Structure 1
Amino acid sequence: MPSFDIVSEFDQHEATNAVDQANREVQSRFDFKGVDASFTLEGESVTLEAEVDFQLKQMLDVLRNRLIARGIDARCMEPEDPELSGVKARQTVKLKQGLEAADAKDIVKRIKATKAKVQAQIQGEKVRVTGKKRDDLQGIMALLRSEEGPDLPLQFDNFRD
């Protein structure tokens, strides 16, 4: 019976490369000359450090562009509020990975609302969709790509025929 998994993931190695490229871009940009600004990747969060809040906003755009260039969907970024402390400004950006229970339930509900002949099951941080026909599964994929739903980057993984 054909099946596939709906996941929300990114490649950790590509995220590391994107942060390294963003660091190099900030060091070489004219508007950051003489400014102590850097990106640091710690697990699934990126810390941005600069001298003022305005520079953090520019650095956030640089990071977003580098992630997109490396094939990581920018919707996985969840920036927190900047912390301003005298000489330094710091901001943490979490890189979301995995489907939360509420988002997984929403996806299952939208699949069931289509009345397609498929079954959707929540399995941890992914949703498995099974059906008798490959065309039904591809229709669900097209529906989830086009529909406005949870603001998450969705990937379709482990397609079995």
Structure 2
Amino acid sequence: MAATYSFDIVSDFDRQELVNAVDQTEREIKSRFDLKDTQTTIELGEEAITVNTDSEFTLDAVHTILQTKAAKRNLSLKIFDYGKVESASGNRVRQEIKLRKGISQEIAKQITKLIRDEFKKIQGSIQGDSVRVSAKSKDELQQIIQRLKQEDLPVALQFTNYR
């Protein structure tokens, strides 16, 4: 019997790197001249980041800083799901940035359909919030990884448990 090889496609991020990126963002907000007196707060929760600041202009500046710090720490910007900007007390604005983790059912179906259509001998199966891909050759699995990296999906993909 021939051996089969497999890997999992997941969407996850390194929590500690995110903590470090948010911490660096806070420090830069406190030290930047244009943001120093805005009393901007940025809080990292379990599933979201909450930004509270005095205007939409400073909110955009905070977004830019956060994205720069996240990118330097090899975090995909696709993990940030920006909510709508709400007005808070005292002419301030608040925004919740949800953190995307896991592959939704629709995207998992889209990935397995792509695998079925383009690679006939390879099986893709949805397992919760990840997709398991198995084949008889490691080369075929490498081709799938390369193909999925070309695809522009709304989530950040990682390839784990390669065996």
- TM class by shorter chain equals over 0.9
Q: Percent identity?
A: 38
RMSD: 1.0
Whole-Å Cα distance in 2 between the matches of residues 157 and 69 of structure 1? 22
Which residue, out of 85, 91, 95, partners 1:87? 91
Among 118, 130, 133, which residue is 2:134 paired with? 130
**Distance in 2 (alpha carbons) for counterparts of 1:81 and 1:46:** 13
User: After TM superposition, where is structure 1 displaced by more than 3 Å over at least 4 residues in a row?
Assistant: none
Instruction: Note if contact 1:38-1:49 (Cα within 8 Å) is conserved in structure 2.
Output: yes
Residues 107-148 of structure 1 deviation map (CA, whole Å, 9 limit, x = unaligned): 000111103421000000100000000000000000000123
Task: Give how far 1:38 is off.
Answer: 1.7
CA distance in 2, matches of 1:104, 1:56: 33
Name stretches of at least 5 consecutive residues in structure 1 with no aligned partner.
Answer: none
* TM-score normalised per structure 1: 0.95
Query: Which position in structure 2 is the counterpart of 1:112?
Result: 116
Q: How does 1:40-55 map to 2 (within 5 A)?
A: 40-55=43-58
Question: 1:88, CA displacement in angstroms?
Answer: 1.7
Q: C-alpha distance in 1, partners of 2:74/2:120?
A: 31
Q: Give the length in aligned residue pairs.
A: 159
Q: Which residue of 2 aligns with 1:5?
A: 8
Q: Is residue 53–residue 84 contact of structure 1 (8 Å, CA) maintained in 2?
A: no
Q: TM-score, normalised by structure 2?
A: 0.94
Residue 16 of structure 1, CA deviation: 0.9
Structure 2 gaps of 5+ residues are: none
Give the equivalent residue in structure 1 for 2:24: 21
Distance across 2 between alignment mates of 1:49 and 1:131? 49
